Every structure is written in C-alpha cells, then in structure tokens.
Structure 1
Amino acid sequence: MFKQGSLFKSLPNAQNNEVFDDLIKHPSVRIERIVSHGQCSPDEGWYDQDEHEWVIVLQGEAEITFENEQVIQLKHGDHLNIPAHTKHKVSWTKPETNTVWLAVFYPAEVS
C-alpha cells in the first residue's frame, strides 16, 4: 500500500516540546521527522544509540555536540551520519522558527 504525505504540510506545534513522528518503521530502518523550535537535549546525558543515524536539516538550523566536544553546525540542506554508540546531543536549534529534521536510523550490524 502506498503511503503519501508532505514533510512540511501541517507541521505540528513544537513551541513547547520537540515533536517526533515516525514516517516509516520497519525492522531494518526507521525514518523520523523531527520538528524543533529552539529546543535542545537535556544538559545531563547523551544519546547513545544501538543503530546508526543519518540526519538532514530540511529547514532551520541546529548544532550537534559530541562527547569529545566536537561541535557540528547544520543549516538547511546539511546532513550528517552518526555512527552507532557515538555519544551526542542537540546543543542548539534556531529559536523563533521551526527546525525540521529527517532522521534515518539503520542497523549497525547488517546480516
């Protein structure tokens, strides 16, 4: 069955909290739309995922900080692949506007 939609039509209100929507969820891949509006990860803790994550910023701007203190800025159209178990966090998203991300999670081990 076909599943059609628009990444930008009817964006959810993310002014108070980031919004995560699974667009595709399959045992070997998950594609997620994330809408941020000035939010960032909590000060304590890091994302430490069992799968690889490829992200692209479709609208807005963001900054990702890694445990080794490397900071990567992402603007409209920029993408980044984050290997599994690479500790990271979203340290900034552009305030007063939506930042729309597309995240693709895929297995670290392919059998």
Structure 2
Amino acid sequence: MAPMDGAPANLLADLPPAGPDEVFTRLLARPGLVVERIVSTGQASPLGFFYDQPQDEWVLVLSGTADLRFADEAAPRRLGPGDHLLIPAHRRHRVERTDRDPPTIWLALHLS
C-alpha cells in the first residue's frame, strides 16, 4: 500500500502472502477513529473465544467471504463482498471462518 502521503492506494493491491495470522494494516488514525485493512487467509477466532471490544467497529468485506457470529445469536452471519455491519461496543462476537483463496479482505473502522 502507498504511504499515507496523499498518494492514491488500492485496498486490493499489495496483499501479503498467506500465513498463520491475519494481517492488519493501519490506514488512518485520528482521535476517536482508526481505519485498517485486514487480510484474512483462512483464519478464524480460537474455539470458544469471543471479542469484547470497548469501542464500536464498523466492518466492510471487500473480497472473499467470512462467517461472523455474535454470542447472542445461534447462527453465524455470512458476509460477502459489499456486506457491512456495525458491531456495537461490548457486543461479543467471533470470526467463525474466512476464505483462504481468494483472501477475505476487510475494511474496519474503530470508533471511540
């Protein structure tokens, strides 16, 4: 990705190679806002683990698919390209599955 100097960048370019962990790239940080690209290549949350974040998070799937499950829902939600949702602060959730090839690419906004 291009440096944050005003030059254009493409969220679907310069993807990291598949590895054991998701790759988080911070794109922008301002008071109360962090924007990042997340590249998932088959990763999922550890069994039984749920995120419980202190801030709201808005996510958009740019490519690939993912299954996102909330602790208060019986079934996961399938997200594909163009799907987005707001995860309110402290709403427990987990990533059940992501695509490996093509990778699942997310745009995430963390709002505090």
TM-score bin (small chain) = 0.7 to 0.9
Matched ranges for 1:15-94 at <5 A: 15-68=19-72, 69-94=74-99
Which runs of 5 or more structure 1 residues have no equivalent in the other structure?
Answer: none
Contact 2:55 2:111 survives alignment (8 Å): yes
Whole-Å Cα distance in 1 between the matches of residues 86 and 52 of structure 2?
14
Structure number with higher strand proportion: 1
Does 2:103 match 1:98?
yes
Contact 1:60 1:94 survives alignment (8 Å): yes
- Superposition TM-score, scaled by structure 1 size: 0.88
Runs ≥4 residues deviating over 6 A: none
Whole-Å Cα distance in 2 between the matches of residues 70 and 105 of structure 1?
24
Q: Is 90-99 or 22-31 further displaced after alignment? A: 90-99
Among the aligned pairs, what percent are the same residue? 42
Contact 2:60 2:108 survives alignment (8 Å): yes
Aligned AA (2:106):
W
- Superposition TM-score, scaled by structure 2 size: 0.87
Q: Is 21-30 or 66-75 further displaced after alignment? A: 66-75
Per-residue CA shift, 1:40-93, capped at 9, x if unaligned?
111132111111011010000001011123421101111111100000010011
Q: How many corresponding residue pairs? A: 107
